[in-house]
Each structure stands twice: as structure tokens, then as C-alpha cells.
Structure 1
Amino acid sequence: MISVLLVDDQDLVRLGLRTLLTSEDGFTVAGEASDGLTAVERAATLRPDVILMDVRMPGIDGLEATRRIMAAPGESRVIVLTTFEHDEYVFEALRIGASGFLLKDTPPVTLLDAIRTVADGGALLSPSVTRTLIREFVTKGPRRLVPHPRLDQLTEREREVVGLAAEGLTNAEIAGRLVVSPATARTHVSRAMVKLGARDRAQLVVFAFQSGLAT
């Protein structure tokens, strides 16, 4: 059973999410919050598997709430909900540990699959979303690189693989580019994640941007 905390300042949105989740087998609503501070408190006490987090809320916003939740003990994973695909907070949310983001008009089936994916340890960072983030990030102009402190632990091949992942390539596409098996590509990605302490592929891509492995 996957427990979910619903965080949104609109009662109607929370009601819709609750209705969807309670009508499906395998899900339970752990609780609700209508602002960021309450979300942080309930995440700590309820320890949900997944948190659906709105970005713009009164008090502290969803970004700061996510930051505090990720910094606290616990295994909860955050999916950021946004109204706009190019939300200015998306990259920062991924940087601080969110497992991905979804638009609020995401079809119900897609939302349920996304929750399952994140609960299983995956990330909501499809190639198309990754490429969108790259375009948004690059068009903001020159950026100050902040290399990951454990970057030197990566082999040259792992650096290459991380860079390709940041381009939005899947493991199969990375394998094709490097002329290796998909299993080998997957292994390189997994090892890079472990060495850099990335919670998931989403955070790995962020580390690639910050360390200069993505161009």
C-alpha cells in the first residue's frame, strides 16, 4: 500500500486527488496540508511514501517545504505539482531532492503510474522533460559551475554516461551511443548515482549541470 500526503492550498484540488487515490487499489491518503509549514510537520509525523507538493502556497512555498522535508530524516519522496511546464522552480526543486514534477492537468492514469514509479525509487524525468529543463537552463545565460565534491570518484566512462543522461538519453540510447549493452549503460548510471549520492536520476542530471558535465 502506497501512502500519499496531499499538499495544495486549493481544497478542490486536494479533494480531486483524494477521490482519485481512494478509488484505486494500492493507495492510501496519509493526510493533507494546505500550506508549506503544515506539509513539513505532517511529513515528519506521518512519514508518507510519496508527497504530492504544490509549488505556490501561502507561508513557505512548496520549494522551501521540499527543502526542509529532504533535509530531515525519512524516506518520503516528493513529486512537485505545477500549473506550467516551464515553472521557474522546477530545476531548483529537482536540485534539492524532488523526484520529479507533473503538470496539474496530468491524466489520472499517468499520475497514478508516476506515484508508483517514485514509490519504487524511480524518478519522473523522461527524456522530453530533461530536454525541456536543458533548454530552460541554458537560455538563462552563463552559469557558475559548482562541481560535486565527489566528482573525482567518477571514471571517465561514468562522466561520459552522466553527461549523456543529462542530455535526456535513456539507458538504451546511451548504450547505442557508446556501443555497449543496455545492462552496461544501466550499471554505469547506477554506479555514478551511488558515488555522487544522487537520490535518483533527476538529481543525477542536476549534478551534471552543476558540475559542468552537461553542455
Structure 2
Amino acid sequence: MMRQKYRDKLISAVKNDHLIPTEYYIEFTEWEYRIHKCSRRILAASCFRENANNTYHQTKSIILPVIGYYYALFHMGVAVLYLDYSTDLKKLKRVKHKTLINLIQNKLVSRNLISNKFTNILFDLKVIREDANYDFGVMDNIETIDYYVETGKAFDEAINFIKELDIAIKDYQQVLMDIMVKIGDGFGDDIKDTYLSKKDQECVIEYLISKNLTT
């Protein structure tokens, strides 16, 4: 739940929006840029999650899916941080895994903007990803956990924050509708066509529509 102190500082940051230098060849204000980057990360997160789920059902092997689930949460974590007014944009460029977890904990969990469910499952999947990559054979009991369900719960934490933020600053900045348009009518189709099978694409679209994150 967003506290009034955070809400006030958020609104102040949005009202003081200004042009910033970016890696793109068009002008962005800071909040246009934050929303743009958030949208891309939401799409990436959804692609990784649905691909991981479909890969597991097709192969019955957990090795690659757990890595996919980790990166799904990684991207969703970055997405949410892009909408946190106090997170320095420079810190999110090529952010490291440990740094990301610390940022989510310090910027979001400690402020009760999302619960520690998100960081707990992210950390667990980080450990599993490292075991799978660097110490293969030590992963125990991972098939007893439905990571599609668990990452879905963590995604809901992030999405609820985004929707609460959208309401908080609706008089000054459009957030949720911009995300929907960017994913649905902007870069979304190109990314899905490049990286996903038709089955994965259908699942991603179905999920995003169910969460009101695309048009």
C-alpha cells in the first residue's frame, strides 16, 4: 500500500518532469522514458514466463524453465523500479543480479510498495539458476514447486503497484494506458515475432490481456 509521504514525493517528481538524454534518437521526458522502459521489461518478463511454462510442458524437464522463470522475475523487478521516482535511471542500465535484489528490497519492499514475496521467490530462483549453470546436479525438490504459479503471485505484486501508481498520478501522467499501447500497438509485435513461437505468443497475449497490460 502506497503511503502518503511516498505518494506526495511521487507526484512532485512527475510534476517536475523534464527532458533527459537517452540512448534513443528521439526526445523523451524522464517519465516518458521510465514508462517506455517499464513497458519493454513487462513484455520481456511475460515472454520469459510463458516460454518457461510451455517449455516445461513440452519437455517435462525443469532445467531451462527455472532459468526462464528467474529472468521473468528479473525483468519484472526492473520494470517496477523504472516507475519508482527515487531509483536513479543509471543504476538500471545493465543492472547486476545482486544489485537488482538490493534495489527492490530497499526501494520497494522496505516501503511496503510490494511484499517480500517478490524478493523471496526471486532470490530462490537466483540460487537455482546459479546451481543449474555452475554446479549442475545439486538442485533438490524443485519439481515440487509450481514456479508458474509462484512467479504469477510475484507478478501480481508488481502489477498491483503499477496500477496503484497509475491512480496516484493520473491527473499529471498517464501510465497504464501508455503501457498498454506500447505493448499492444508499439514494439510488442516485433519482439514477440522475433523471440517466441506462435504458442508462446498466444499465451503472452492472453496473460497480458487478463492483467489489462495490453490493448
TM-score range, shorter chain: under 0.3
Compare relative contact order (CA 8 Å, sep 6+) and give the higher one, 1 or 2: 2
Greater per-residue strand proportion:
1
TM, length-normalised to structure 1: 0.27
Q: Structure 1 or 2: larger helix share? A: 2
TM-score w.r.t. the length of structure 2 is 0.27
